[in-house]
A and B are shown apart, each in its own frame.
Chain A
Amino acid sequence: MPGRCIHAGRASAKAEHGTMPVRATTDAEKGRRFRDAALSHLDDVYTLARYLLRDPSDAEDAVQECYLRALKHFDSYRGPAMKPWLFAILRNVCRAEFSRRASSPSGTIDEVTEKAEQAPLWREAQQTPESEMVRDSDASTIRRLVAALDQPFRETFVLREIHNLSYREIADVAEVPVGTVMSRLARARAMLRTAWMAEEEQPK
């Protein structure tokens, strides 16, 4: 291209620097970069852990393990965005905890999931008048209602409504097709709305 400005090359090189993984030259440098890139998402990772595990101290343990694994694999990290990457690691950490809990007498998580996913969606929808709006509730009430959702619906709902992930990102984190994300989210919202309405009808 005639007259191509040499500064264009420099500008793009600088722009690249923000996303391009630069090989850590020392451990200290790596630590500094990890702190900037990953530790800034600590509240988000902790929030997801709280909703996935529904127990504050289990959540702390899982988050710490998540960051240990993330640091270990940080050199080979090439994307996706940092937040979904951390979420995927956290989810793998939580899976061990899920299977431990699944051995409890209340039945396996998979069984619960299967039953819930096979039930037709209209069951929840018909229980509530379609035009009725939920009223604003305090955060602790909504947290409790979200926490009461079954695991796959809770996870999908939290990733979408609290962490603002796209369907594609949720699908990657949860390792399911985008279509499944869509139907789980529809069901999660239907169940939450039903529970929310019931909550409002209860005498205070």
Chain B
Amino acid sequence: MTCEEAEILVHALIDGELDAGHARQVEDHLAGCSRCAAQLAAYREMSKSVARADLGYTAPAALRRRIEATLPEVRAPNRRAVLRGFALGSAVSAIAATGLVAVILRTDDHARVKSEMVSAHLRSLQAGHLTDVLSTDQHTVKPWFSGKLDVAPPVVDLTAQGFTLIGGRLDYVDAHAIGAIVYRRRLHVINLFVSQTAGTEHRPARIESFQGFNIRSWSEGGLNYWAVSDLAADELAEFGEKFEAAMRSSTTG
């Protein structure tokens, strides 16, 4: 290796960017060339001096505020969100035109919605985001939703069946506010997302797995239900069955 080559490569050596083979070649050259070895030491020292001096700048607070002002805020859905809602498809527009309440979720959006449900579930597990209303009392949780959503989701107490009601939350899926009822089984959280649907037919439950989470979805009485949890599939199925049974007994009874 020539001094000219070494002059460049000592820098890559200082920065830890050389593979073992090239590092060895440079080191061999440095062992026999005091001039290049001195350069290496001098540049290494200079890099340390630069690092010690802390050459960074702090952004002015006014600049930070100006940039933050350009970010979308937490507020009522703006024009863009509304437009995106309409972009859901002609089915939505057609029903909106007939004066019915907007359909929230179309079935052919199933795969995308499934992924959003899991995202919403994951978000809810982040600190302090699980519930907006914290209560084990269904008569507290259900009224809380009233006025916040077009339809208040049914809230049933399943504590006796081994699923503890811990509260409710407003969530956003597919740019729509929907209700989430939160249950707990041992250390596992179950988010039950409830949204309105156009059809009133009963759709039997199906269990799927997505990104390591289990999802049990079904439709009943004009509502779509999605239970998302890291519970094992059989326990989540049990949750869904208990919930459906409790709903049936409350409507017939």
**Chain A residues in the interface with B (C-beta under 8 A):** 6, 9-14, 16-17, 22-23, 25-32, 34-35, 39, 42-47, 50, 60, 63-64, 67-68, 71, 121-122, 125, 130-139, 142-143, 146, 158, 160-162, 166-167, 182-183, 185-186, 189, 192-193, 196
Inter-chain CA distance A185–B55, complex, in Å, is: 17
Contact, CB under 8 Å: B46 / A63: no
Contact, CB under 8 Å: B81 / A27: yes
**Chain B residues in the interface with A (C-beta under 8 A):** 4, 7-12, 15, 17, 35, 38-39, 41-43, 45-47, 49-60, 63-64, 66-68, 70-75, 77-78, 80-81, 115-116, 119-120, 122, 172-175, 211-213, 230, 232
Contact, CB under 8 Å: B64 / A125: no
| 17 intermolecular pairs with C-beta atoms under 8 Å apart | A12-B212, A13-B213, A16-B211, A17-B122, A35-B71, A64-B63, A121-B7, A122-B7, A131-B41, A134-B42, A143-B55, A146-B55, A160-B15, A167-B15, A182-B8, A182-B17, A189-B47
Which residues on A sit within 8 Å (CB–CB) of B11? 182, 185-186, 189
* New A-B pairs, 19, CB < 8 Å, besides A31-B71, A71-B71, A167-B15: A9-B212, A22-B122, A25-B116, A26-B77, A26-B172, A34-B71, A46-B63, A131-B41, A133-B45, A134-B42, A136-B52, A136-B53, A138-B53, A160-B15, A161-B55, A162-B55, A167-B12, A186-B8, A189-B47
Closest CB of chain B to A149's CB: distance in Å? 12
Which residues on A sit within 8 Å (CB–CB) of B70? 64, 67-68, 71
Contact of A182 among B12, B54, B116 (CB under 8 A): B12
Contact, CB under 8 Å: B49 / A134: yes
What is the predominant secondary structure among interface residues of chain B facing chain A?
Answer: helix
Closest CB of chain A to B70's CB: distance in Å? 6
Inter-chain CA distance A45–B72, complex, in Å, is: 21
Contact of B73 among A14, A28, A143, A196 (CB under 8 A): A28
Closest A-chain residue to B173, C-beta based? A25
Which residues on A sit within 8 Å (CB–CB) of B47? 161, 189
Contact, CB under 8 Å: A63 / B63: yes
